Amino acid sequence: MVNLNAIYVMWLREMKKYVRAKSRIIGTLIIPLLFLVFLGVGLGDLIGGGLGGMDYRSFLVPGIVGMSMIFSSTFSGISVLWDRQFGFLKEIMVAPVSRVTIVLGRIAGGSTTSIIQGILVLIISLALGFASVSALSFVISIVFMILISMTFIGFGLVLASKMRDMQGFGFIMNLIIFPLFFLSGALFPIQNMPGWLAAVSYIDPLTYGVDGLRGAMIGISMFPLLLDVAVLMGFSAVMIILGSYFFNKSDAV
């Protein structure tokens, strides 16, 4: 049975850890900022010619928000390894709450911090003049941020539940995340890819997240927004179920 109070406690713990880690907040904003500045400014005119006249900086912002979401969401799984190493995981495993409750609490906390990261990146892009969003498009963007974060937090939990080494986790995650990011159409249109590579990008969950964010922010998307939402909901449900299953089967030590 799901314990809402336990979910709140787990969420609050993640939020306190996030707020206290000022270096983490700043560090996770530097790479998106560098992408926005160097790609948006340095390559904007060059690449923009291949986008049918569309401003490349406006095209880039949803992709960078998606990048921030996938990195912050997936690497939240490392907290499982951290808790296992320092004994906290064993304590919560023997608590009188179900492991599903623990997983939901972690997902709630990880999703909140990831969404904050995504919003901060969006605010930076607005301050730099790279984007302009309405109240409605902002709300729709939040919906896609939630779905992206839930999908990749579940994915991170799957890997973290099967691994014991934090360094190995980071290596494996980078090995997986970067291909997913580059295949998602975050930096360049999928239509410009070779046919076989474009076909591979269609099985990438982030493709639909970035496409949905782009449709919400600048009104241009490859798929209908409802299709993007439906596909992401399917991916997030599968990943949360798998994350819960593997976490339930994992050892506390």
* 112 has a pLDDT exceeding 80: yes
> Left (φ > 0), alpha (ψ -120 to 50) or beta: where does 132 sit?
beta
Identify which of 146, 147, 145, 138 has the alpha carbon closest to the alpha carbon of residue 217.
138
* 242 has a pLDDT exceeding 60: yes
Percent of the chain with pLDDT over 90: 13
* 22 has a pLDDT exceeding 60: yes
CB-based contacts of 117, cutoff 8 Å, min separation 6: 25, 28, 29, 68, 69, 72
Question: What's the pLDDT at 54?
Answer: 66
Count of C-beta atoms within a 10 Å radius of residue 115: 19
- 160: its two tokens: 């973290």
Identify which of 78, 71, 92, 76 has the alpha carbon closest to the alpha carbon of residue 29.
71
